[in-house]
């Protein structure tokens, strides 16, 4: 009976420990990392938009040159 109680208490303690670890709050480094990831993603999106706009401007300029040379 004593062995069963020890086994039960050991299992209970392990489950409690793992549940507390899983509920751990994010630290400042994790938050900073997430913010940096978001900033990089936004910068990439804006860069893509800028490249797209520049490509459209180049195409318009090329069309204008073609019209003038015709």
Quote the CA–CA distance of 68 and 70 in Å, as a whole number.
Answer: 5
Residues of the domain holding 15 = 2-69
Q: What is the pLDDT of residue 1?
A: 56
Quote the CA–CA distance of 11 and 66 in Å, as a whole number.
Answer: 79
Q: What is the pLDDT of residue 65?
A: 85
2: pLDDT strictly greater than 60: yes
Specify the number of domains making up the chain. 1
H/E stretch holding 25: none
4: pLDDT strictly greater than 80: no
List, as one string, the DSSP characters of 54-65. Answer: HHHHHHHHHHHH
Give pLDDT tens digits for 7-58. 778 888 888 777 777 666 667 887 888 888 899 888 888 888 888 888 888 8
Quote the CA–CA distance of 26 and 65 in Å, as a whole number.
Answer: 57
């Amino acid at each position: 009976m004593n062995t069963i109680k020890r086994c039960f208490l050991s299992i209970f303690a392990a489950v409690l420990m793992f549940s507390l670890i899983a509920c751990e709050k994010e630290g400042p480094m994790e938050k900073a990392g997430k913010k940096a990831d978001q900033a990089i993603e936004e910068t990439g999106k804006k860069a893509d938009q800028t490249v797209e706009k520049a490509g459209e401007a180049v195409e318009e300029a090329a069309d204008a040159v073609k019209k003038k040379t015709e």
